[in-house]
Amino acid sequence: MKVILAGINVEADLVKEAETVLGVEMTPEVISAAYARISRDPRDVNILRKEARKEVKKARRSNESIVFDMGHSSIAEHAVLNFDIIGISRIAVEAIEHFRLASYTEKSQRYIRLGRDHVIPKEIVENGFRDEFFELVELLSLYYEELYKMIIESGSASGTAKEDARYLMPLATSAQIGMTVNARTLEYMISRLSCHPLAEVREFSDRLADIAIRKVPSLVKYPDPTEYYKAMPLIRAEAGMASSAKPDEKFKRVDLVDATAHGDTALAAGIIFSGSDSSYSDSYAAASKMKKEEREAIIASTMKEMKSFDGVWREFENIDMLFEVVVSASCYAQLKRHRMTTQTVQPYSTGLGVSIPDSVKKAKGIGIFRKAIKSSESLYRKISDKAGISADYLLTNAHRRRVLVKINMRELYHFSRLRSDSHAQWEIREISDMMCALAKERFPYGGAILGGKDRFPAIKKSQA
């Protein structure tokens, strides 16, 4: 066996220096080109890689033909790029982090005391609302500062004050992200974002495209907007308007709206299937015929040696759940990071109320909180007709939206270990606890030891 280190992602300034000293162009396309040849060239892959490095132009031509002419697109996944993204709004971050096959780390509003950096959207300026917009974001910053002090003075820790005062900050607040993405996802990201309704997001797409076309031209060839993607928001809005579904402002914060029928049986059947040579239907029939206690014992046996950091077995993915949740922007910022779920979102709505942290109530800060929300909503309403979706920049982290979360039991275990844990932020912890309670009620065996990692020993003991 040989295992050879073929490449590492290196910081860009160092790449530039190395290119100058060595007089060569360094590009991850070489790795893609070498791997693309594996299937058809009898030579070892390390030899193919060295050959590709000597002839970057040839490597590029080969990528173009294999990725785009033949459709062997996964080749582009071997080229990985890192981006520092600075001075982008919170609402634009949502559009970027929509893409599940990339990695992100964001400067946390939860841990950092926020300054007054905001993005002023082009649409707001063009529609003549620049001054009012600026006044509002300044006002919200003042309310944030005041609330922060009130929460500290009421005896809460500065961590709680930072975490909770930020509920008043607008979605225009500047954010920073480190992003790692492969060339295949990058091309998709550029194309989709180039059709986004917000100008800031389209500008971000242009900046990414400039870099991609310079650094990985053979792997990002179709970054342009397409009519197909452009039509999506309108088609969705028309479908919503044409339907008989009524606007519903009564809501549960978490509802289990659909789930695998007989999920515990499907899970036990999956375990029988992987341990036998029976078909799935025979395995399911066998699991169905078992007494409840026997099914429970099979499922419990998979958890016997489990520690808090262990994930449950893949068979737990046989149980699917569809949750409808109503969360604040602050909570959504965390929820959307769970890339193994499928999330479908509605726009933010002023009709769903706002999330108010307990520390604000304890600090007698409800008055100031409400004043801030009122100011945000009154300008939001005033400019919505003209400024369209860009009015969302004025909503705050406390404003809410509905999200459909499709999640399987395996991922719910992972989610609950992180989000029902005492380190988790309070709102997502509440949401996670409610999701776990509903899942356990529906699937008492499969969901038996859902919960935060801090409570893992106690939860496990209670099941013994």
Ligand X SMILES: Cc1cc2nc3c(=O)[nH]c(=O)nc-3n(C[C@H](O)[C@H](O)[C@H](O)COP(=O)(O)OP(=O)(O)OC[C@H]3O[C@@H](n4cnc5c(N)ncnc54)[C@H](O)[C@@H]3O)c2cc1C
Which of residues 185 and 218 has its CB atom nearest to ligand X in the complex?
185
Question: Token digits for 155?
Answer: 């005896």
In angstroms, what is the minimal distance from the CB of 417 to ligand X?
9
Please name which of 380, 389, 309 lies closest in space to residue 351, comparing C-alpha atoms. Answer: 380
Contact partners, residue 104, CB within 8 Å, separation at least 6: 96, 97, 177, 178, 179, 180, 337
Binding footprint of ligand X on the chain (CB under 6 A): 103-106, 108, 337-340, 414, 418, 423-424
In angstroms, what is the minimal distance from the CB of 107 to ligand X?
7
Which of residues 189 and 372 has its CB atom nearest to ligand X in the complex?
189
Contact partners, residue 77, CB within 8 Å, separation at least 6: 182, 183, 184, 185
Which of residues 252 and 423 has its CB atom nearest to ligand X in the complex?
423
Which of residues 175 and 269 has its CB atom nearest to ligand X in the complex?
175
- Whether the CB-CB separation of 225 and 193 falls below 8 Å is answered with no
Question: Token digits for 43?
Answer: 């030579």
Strands 102-106 and 174-182: what pairing?
Answer: antiparallel
Report phi then psi at 40, rounded to 5: -115, -10
In angstroms, what is the minimal distance from the CB of 366 to ligand X?
27
In angstroms, what is the minimal distance from the CB of 218 to ligand X?
23
In angstroms, what is the minimal distance from the CB of 109 to ligand X?
9
Which of residues 109 and 218 has its CB atom nearest to ligand X in the complex?
109
Which of residues 143 and 413 has its CB atom nearest to ligand X in the complex?
413
Which of residues 94 and 123 has its CB atom nearest to ligand X in the complex?
94
Which of residues 273 and 323 has its CB atom nearest to ligand X in the complex?
323
In angstroms, what is the minimal distance from the CB of 33 to ligand X?
23
In angstroms, what is the minimal distance from the CB of 309 to ligand X?
11
Distance CA 460, CA 69 (A): 53
In angstroms, what is the minimal distance from the CB of 294 to ligand X?
31
Which of residues 365 and 452 has its CB atom nearest to ligand X in the complex?
452
In angstroms, what is the minimal distance from the CB of 424 to ligand X?
5
Contact partners, residue 239, CB within 8 Å, separation at least 6: none
